[in-house]
Amino acid sequence: MGMAANKVGIISCSGEEIPEGTISRIATRLVLEKLRPEETVTICLPLFLAGSEDERAFARVFPTITVDGCDKRCAEIGTKKYSGKPTATVVVTDILKKYPQLNLKSRDELNAEELELAEKVAEEIAKKVDEALSQKRGAKRRKS
Contacts with other proteins, residue ranges (CB under 8 A): 11-18, 21, 25-26, 28-29, 33, 42-51, 72, 74-75, 77-78, 81-82, 107-108
Contacts (Cβ under 8 Å, ≥6 apart) of 94: none
Phi/psi region, residue 121 (left: phi>0; alpha: psi -120 to 50; beta: rest), is alpha
At its nearest, how many Å lie between other proteins and the CB of residue 40? Answer: 11
At its nearest, how many Å lie between other proteins and the CB of residue 48? Answer: 7
At its nearest, how many Å lie between other proteins and the CB of residue 138? Answer: 29
Nearer to other proteins, 14 or 64 (CB): 14
Nearer to other proteins, 16 or 94 (CB): 16
- CA distances in angstroms from 71 to 44, 62, 67, 92, 126, listed in the order given: 19, 24, 11, 9, 21
Nearer to other proteins, 82 or 113 (CB): 82
Dihedral over alpha carbons 12, 14, 20, 24 (to 10 degrees): 40
Nearer to other proteins, 105 or 137 (CB): 105
Q: How far apart are CA 79 and CA 25, in angstroms?
A: 16
Nearer to other proteins, 5 or 50 (CB): 50
At its nearest, how many Å lie between other proteins and the CB of residue 16? Answer: 5
At its nearest, how many Å lie between other proteins and the CB of residue 118? Answer: 11
Q: How far apart are CA 63 and CA 120, in angstroms?
A: 22
Beta strands at 40-42 and 64-68: parallel, antiparallel or unpaired:
unpaired
